[in-house]
Every structure is written in structure tokens, then in C-alpha cells.
Structure 1
Amino acid sequence: MKDAAKAMRAATETVLAGLSQTQSDRVLHGFADPDRTRWSYTPRDHHGLSLTEMDVPTRKAFHRLLATALSRHAMAQAVTIMALEEVLDLDESGRKDRHSGGYYLAVFGRPGSPRMSWRIEGHHLSVTATIVGDAVAVGPVFLGANPHRVRAGRTAVLAPLGAEEHLARDLLASLPVDLHKKALITPVPPSDIRSRNQEQVNPRLIDPSGVPVAALDDEQRQMFAALLALYLERLAPPLRPSVKETELHFAFLGRNKEGAGHYYRITGPDLLIEYCNNTGDHAHTVLRTPGGDFGRDLITAGHRG
């Protein structure tokens, strides 16, 4: 964890070193700034500086900072999601002027201070990391995709969140009738992830919890473990939350058919994973630790390493 904090602080310094004073003033904010916890995955006026306003070396430093929080495969998902903005712009005939440079960095606190946070964010991507002393908390982590798949005829050539869909569908299909009834809450999916971009998760929005993982057989539990790992392993190895699978639940809303709208969630003590694709071709996913998002637990504990 200490090495992760050191790497993040150094990577933040490298980005800042490539900025003019005017640009730095836009990126740097006080740790107590209320915007630190006002995250978003939809287009908005963002705190910070966008990729389009950075020179090439600073853009590289931006991506290297993001990579301090994410695993290799999640980094691949993240940069693919950024690039998908160009495809979505083509689909919309440029009406909303979407582009792959519309991703912003904001830093709260300074890299040398005891507490600091950074956020990289834009359409369908939001990653927040908080550093308190030598400890790091990453979350919320949001990845989305529109379109969910890019096809050549009937063949999918790009689907950055495809595994997140198929593993969940396979798990639901494997359940016997009694467990299937517990897992399938309703055949109608919600319009979006239930927690949206709330600063703190409202527990009422993620109830009922669905089927307990403790009730699954060995084969089903292996399928669940693969799905869970896909989300937890979005984070770099030292930053992944520790969970007990037998304390978790799995719930599915929608139809278990490719192309149909659907939603699922994994919930447990201080863990929330949500996936929503209510149209079949526009996916939203989030990994949250409600007690630890935005470093809340680290700040409360006054962690010093």
C-alpha cells in the first residue's frame, strides 16, 4: 500500500509539472472542496483540465496516473471506453460533439500533503483515488460503454464490458428453480444503476438482495467468483478490497437473453457492484465500497500508514 501511495503521488507530480500556472490553478483544489465527492459519469462541466488541453507528454502522464489505480485489463477497458466516444459521435452525426479528449483530471490537496485525492472523469468513466498518509482507497470506479458492442455484421469486434454481461447471464442460467426465483427480482430492468452518482449509497435502492452466494453449489460458486473477480481485479493488486464471498448476494433484473435489457448487482458488507444495460446496447457498471468511497474510512481513522 505504501508503494501505491508513493507511485500515485509521484505520478500526480509529473502531470502537474507539465502544466502552466493557469492550467495548474484549474486542476488543483483544496481537499475540503465539496466537488471532491461530486462525481459523475455523464457529460457535465467538470472541475479540472481535459486531455485536449494538455500537450503530448502531459497526456501520457495523465494515462500513467490512471494506471496507478487500475489493473492492466481495466486500463485497457478504460482507454477503449474513451475511444468509443468517437464511435458514438459518428452514430449521433456529431450532434453532441463527443470526442476522446473529453476526460478531465482534478486534484484535491497537493501530492506532498498528508491527504490528497485525484479524479479522472468524463463520459462513461470516473475513477477517484484518495491517499491518506501511506494508505490508498480507490472508489467509486465507474466504467460504461455506448455502444455496448461494435459489430461487423453479426460478429462483435469490440465489447469492452462484454465479459461482465456474459458471466452474469451464465450464472443466472445455471441456478436451479428455487434459487433462480430468489435471484430474479423482476423481468423489468431499471433505467440505470440504482446508486446513480450518489455520494453515499442509499441502502433502500439496492434491496432486495437476491440469492445468497452461500446457497450456491461448487460449480455455481466458481462462476460467481469469476464474475466477482472481474470487478475487484479492476484495481491494481494492492488496492483491491477484501471480501468474504459467502457474505455476498447476487440479484438480477430483466430478461436473460442477449440483446435484452438487464441489470444485476452484487451486494455485501461494504461492497456494491452494479451493472445496467437497460436497452441491450448501453452498459453502465460501478464498483463501490460504500464505507470507503472517497477514502471515507481512511479519513475517519486518521490513517498514517
Structure 2
Amino acid sequence: MFRLVSSLLPERAVQSLSAAYFRANAWYNVGSDKFHSTQTTIQHSTMKIQVLPALSDNYMYLLMDEKSKEAAIVDPVEPKTVLEAVKAAGVSLTTVLTTHHHWDHAGGNKELVSTYDKPLKVVGGDERVEGLTQLVGHGDTLNIGSLKVECLFTPCHTKGHICYNVTSDDPEHNPAVFTGDTLFIGGCGKFFEGDGTQMYRALVEVLGALPDHTFVYCGHEYAIQNLKFGLHVEPNNTAIQEKIAWVKKRREENLPSVPSSIGEEKQINPFMRVGEASVQEHVKTSDPVETMTAVRAEKDNWRPPK
């Protein structure tokens, strides 16, 4: 339905309809001025990442360099929450990192820029990103204090999707990648503007080439439903079974399931396991790209058993 609407209406109309839908959905599922998860801060050796829940299942991320106190925000759809977090953390926000143009990720950019008391750079890989000031492509880099942010071009969910890989010269640094709607815990984004070949490259050849200990911060709290589908694909995968139990406990405590890691996703995510015989046997093909396409098509119409 979203793909059909997007193809028939101008971009401004699509964004307005998206905004109305996401706001209504958040009000219905979460309530006014409430969060679907508890805000948490994760300490890395040279940076802090504050997980900021938004809408009914989105995540925004405040990325803070410990040395300079410079910060970036990933997908700030709810500017009020972002500004409160920035003030409380005592950091200087300089950059907006936008993974893609969909309203629930880029829809707060202009308001944040107009509200914050210092100039902000708005980075993205698509001209449709709201408030864009710097268009980036694969391999482009920028700095947040001492942190290096590498842009990874991962088109498929949208044709301009960018993931942001954060590294440091500090040997103790724990790398982190912000994957938007390309890679989720146990899943991947719908192929709205791409195909299986593109998602295979994005997940296996680009993100899959990152070190296994890279932390994965994704754009939505979709873990339980994704993992249940993964177990449907691989019923004997004990790593998925254990991850489901862990996530259920986290969600019972209203805690986010993020982050996971690249290494963990290779064990629990069927879309990163399309080269594995167990996943290929499920869709009756031995070609990884065909497997990617078939598994996504099944996921689009799959509902967990009651």
C-alpha cells in the first residue's frame, strides 16, 4: 500500500500522510507524551550513545564524543525529546545524521534546525531528506569530535539509504553502526525502492564486512516479530531461541532490545544468513540473492501463529 501511494502522490503529500499516520499510531499504541521504551545510555570507550525512543516503535540516537562533548543525532523525528536530551547531557549538537527520507526518520529535521540555538549540519544520501545541507555517498566521512563517521550507501528500502559507521583512532573504541531501516535485529527493511540484489549487497557485502564486534543500532523496535519469523525459517536455530528469550525479558522491563552486533546478526538474522543451507532449504533455492528475495517476500505476508 505504501509503495502504491508513494508512486501516485507528490512527495510533499506522501510525507504529510505519513506524519498523520505515525502520530496517530503512536497516540493509539503508546499514548501522549509517553515512550515505548525507557531511555538508556550505553557507554563505549570513547563515546556515549543515548537511545531515545520515539513514536510507537522508532529509535533516535544521540551520539556523543566523550573528549570534545560534540554530538550528533540520528533520525530526530521528535525534536523536543532530542533537545531535552542534549541539554541534560551538556553536549554541543552539531550534526543531524539522517538514514533515509521517510517521515518517521527525517520528519523532525527542519523543526530541530529552526529550534536549536546553534547551526546544524543535516547529512543524508537522498535529496528528499528534509532540511538536507550535505548530500553524502558511499565512503564519505565526517567527524564528530574525535569520532570518525563513515557513510555506507545501502539502497533498497529507499534508493538513498545511508548507514553510518562510527569508529575512532582509540584502540579501545567499540565501533557502532546506525542502520536505520536497512538492518534490524533479526530482520531487514521492506524493499520499497529496491530489490534482493541491492539488499544482499547492503547486508552481506557492506554491513556484513564490518567487524563482528561492531554494535548495531537500528531504526525500530521490531526484534520480537523479526526473531519469531527467523525461528519460522530456521526452527532449530538455538541462537534465535536464546535471543527471543532475552528480548522478551528486556521488553517486559520496558527496555530497548538495541544494540545487537554484526556477529550476532550473522547468527540470528535470516537476511544475513541467505548463504546458509538451512535458510536456502526453507525457500527451495541455492542462490543467495534469490534466497534474499524469497525470504523477504514471505516475511511481507507472514503473521506469527497465535
TM range (shorter): under 0.3
TM-score (norm 2): 0.28
Higher RCO, 1 vs 2 (CA within 8 Å, ≥6 residues apart): 1
TM-score (norm 1): 0.28
Q: Mark the structure with the bigger radius of gyration.
A: 1
